[in-house]
Amino acid sequence: AVEIWVLLLSFMCVWPESVSIQRGNHEDRLLNMDAHCGGFYQEVMRKYEMVIRGKPNGEGGLIYEKFARIFARLPLATIVDKRVFVIHGGLSRNPAGGFLRMLRMHKKRAPEIPGVTPSATAADLAY
């Protein structure tokens, strides 16, 4: 997974108009910390955290934090060629028109996916 992300991010740097990545549930910090739901945090720590003289060197945590910051900036939704609406998950279960309101509201959203609430529109998009 780490190597796949590095490859995809490299493609985005070389061909920024050709590569787009959506934020989904596996780009959520809490989900990454859960070994039963992907375990990205554990993978990074296993691969990059070294123990020197009995103490962790902190590199794994720094690398994970860089990924978490990248994930927090990935878009929840994208429109391709002004015609195709792309999301990772599904449209909200909230019937009160919450979806469009949520898109407008989240132009400058918090870095983490909001918690599950009765109107959990942003979480619906990611999951």
- Residue positions annotated with a catalytic role: 26
Contact 41, 64 (CB under 8 A): yes
Q: In whole angstroms, give the CA distance from residue 5 to residue 75.
A: 16
Q: Residue 25 corresponds to which amino acid?
A: N
Neighbours of 16 (CB within 10 A): 9
Judge whether 87 and 113 are in contact, CB under 8 Å: no
Query: What is the SS3 assignment for 40?
Result: helix
